[in-house]
Amino acid sequence: MNVGVVGNPSYRDLKSILAHLAQVAPRLGLTLFTEEHIAALWPEPAPAPLHGAPQLECLVTLGGDGTLLRGARSLNGARTPILGVNLGRVGFLTTANAQTLDWALDVLVRRAYATESRLALAPFILDKQGKSRPEPVVLNDAVVHKGGVARVIRLRVSVDGDEVGQYSADGIVVATPTGSTAYALSAGGPIVVPGVDAIVVAAICPHTLAVRPLVVPSQASVTVEPIPPWTEDVLVSFDGQVGTTMQSGERLVVKRSEQAVLLVRLGPEGFFARMRKKLQWGDLSDRERQ
């Protein structure tokens, strides 16, 4: 089984976990491939580079949700299941941790796992001549905002060419159901259950009470366009990790990706159980019984 490994070197346990993976891989029949920036953390000889590897049967991410998001982008639309191993605190998208890694690998080899299909977005920048610039496929969100210090920006939002209105806000988040529990939630957006085919549009700190988050069909095309003179120092961030600039006359177009992201799920724990456990949803434990 060809397995790619993506990791976050800021976690101090990563080196020992990589050593453990290298030790158990031959017994489990795993051929490992590593992203290059963690290659030096493996025991010698390190696995072959992930870039240029043959078709992967699974991608293991070692870190937190951010590491899983980066791993999903690295697949560039390939339908490779992602096994997220949490080395951090929350790990809402992950399904295993350092203590359950051996069990997770055994389940992986036996192919006794389930997968969740998660809607992804395929954003691109469109200039005034109609030329498009594709951007990375994202699992969480694409965000239009000002660069530098926090400043208000005015943006025009359209859905399938139909103008929704002008927004005066710190930015606009266009999120998947997966991303609805991330930045969009902090911006006041709704939680959308992953199985729902929808896209969330939420303003960041809108400067009017008349603006509320939108939920639109996943087949819709969402366009966000800065309005002059608010067209300087405009940035677009993808999954909060990579980004690009927008020039005057350009606009962000976000559509559903043709390919979904597949997340490995182990055991019976469902979405709402993870919400209760990791986001403390509905937690009343601090209230004393009357």
- Percentage of residues in the chain having pLDDT higher than 70: 98
What whole-number distance in Å separates Cα of residue 21 and Cα of residue 25?
A: 6
Q: What is the mean pLDDT of residues 98-125?
A: 96
Tell whether omega for the bond before 229 is within 30 degrees of 0, i.e. cis. yes
Where along the chain do its domains lie? 2-119+260-278, 121-256
pLDDT above 60 for 290: no
Instruction: Name which of 37, 35, 49, 43 is nearest 17 in CA terms.
Output: 43
CB 225 within 8 A of CB 128: no
pLDDT digits (tens, 9 = 90+) for 27-84: 999 999 999 999 999 999 999 999 888 899 999 999 999 999 999 999 988 999 999 9
Compute the average pLDDT of residues 166-182: 96
pLDDT value at residue 269: 83
Q: Report how far apart, in Å, the C-alpha atoms of 289 and of each of 30, 31, 43, 281 are.
A: 52, 54, 54, 19
- pLDDT bin (cut points 50, 70, 90) of residue 150 is low
Summarised one tens digit per residue, pLDDT across range 178-215 is: 999 999 999 999 999 999 999 999 999 999 888 999 99
CATH fold of 121-256 reads: Tumour Suppressor Smad4 (2.60.200)
User: pLDDT band for position 285 (50/70/90)?
Assistant: confident
Q: Which of 121-125, 236-240, 279-283 has the lowest mean pLDDT?
A: 279-283
Question: Is the CATH number 3.30.460.80 carried by domain 2-119+260-278?
Answer: no
Q: Give the pLDDT of residue 250.
A: 95
d(C-alpha 147, C-alpha 83), whole Å: 34
Q: In angstroms, rounded to a whole number, what is the distance separating the alpha carbons of residues 248 and 127?
A: 9
**Local structure of 27: helix, strand or coil:** helix
Comparison of pLDDT for 160 and 289, the residue scoring more: 160
Q: Which residues lie across from 4 on neighbouring strands?
A: 33, 59
Q: What's the pLDDT at 8?
A: 95
Q: Among residues 13, 65, 170, 197, which one is catalytic?
A: 65
pLDDT for the residue 289: 59
User: Rounded to whole angstroms, how far apart are CA atoms 187 and 190?
Assistant: 9
DSSP 233: S
Q: Is 141 a catalytic residue?
A: no
